[in-house]
Homo-oligomer: A and B are copies of this chain.
């Protein structure tokens, strides 16, 4: 295990797993480097510090996630009749599909943990780097739900976000026996999330 890829990638992979399991402070560099099969000093050599490593763990996944989200959003808004389900699917499915490769499944727990920690540094980082994605989705929600006032809409989006974060953090906790059942479970989760979000967003 962990015997493939460059040292940097082995560290990133092990970091994602251990951060999800024990938290950012809870996972020590000694655990981490041992699991990755690299020397203790490798983290500071390749990343500069533990904090920079945390940032890189986030960047690697979130860049791909939000790129995927925007691409899916662009697909559906180009259609003649965009529905709320379509937009929500563009928001939700890419997040759940992050768990397609084995390691990625733990990333959502890393993200959920980061959200809960309310660390201003991390929240600012998320807002600065990926705020425009949220803004695009919010604008689309506003267009599809014109009857809602701005504050009302923000409230509902916030509650939907909470439900999504919660579901994602629990997602992938159970080790699935096969890829096919994993896929089925992901599809079920997406269906439940989307229907729930539609109801929560559009109720009178």
Which residues does A use to contact B, with CB under 8 Å? 23, 25-26, 109, 112-113, 115-118, 155-156, 158-167, 169-170, 173, 192-193, 195-196, 198-200, 203
Contacts and interface: CB of A to CB of B under 8 A. Distances in A.
A171 to B, nearest CB: 11
Contacts of A195: 203
A116 B122 CA distance: 16
Q: How many monomers of this protein are in the complex?
A: 2
A23 B117 CA distance: 7
A202 to B, nearest CB: 8
Given A25-B26, A162-B162, A164-B162, A169 B203 contact: no
Given A118-B169, A159-B163, A159-B192, 14 more contacts: A23-B23, A23-B117, A109-B118, A118-B173, A156-B196, A158-B170, A159-B167, A159-B196, A162-B165, A162-B166, A163-B200, A165-B166, A196-B203, A199-B200
A193 to B, nearest CB: 7
A112 B170 CA distance: 14
For the complex of A and B, the 4 pairs showing the least CB-CB separation, nearest first, are A162-B166, A116-B116, A199-B203, A162-B163
A117 B112 CA distance: 9
Contacts of A158: 166-167, 170
For A23, A109, A193, the residue with the greatest tally of chain B CB atoms inside 10 Å of its CB is: A23
A71 B77 CA distance: 49
For A167, A193, A196, the residue with the greatest tally of chain B CB atoms inside 10 Å of its CB is: A196
Given A199-B199, A199-B203, A161 B166 contact: yes
A91 to B, nearest CB: 15
A113 B115 CA distance: 9
For A115, A166, A203, the residue with the greatest tally of chain B CB atoms inside 10 Å of its CB is: A166
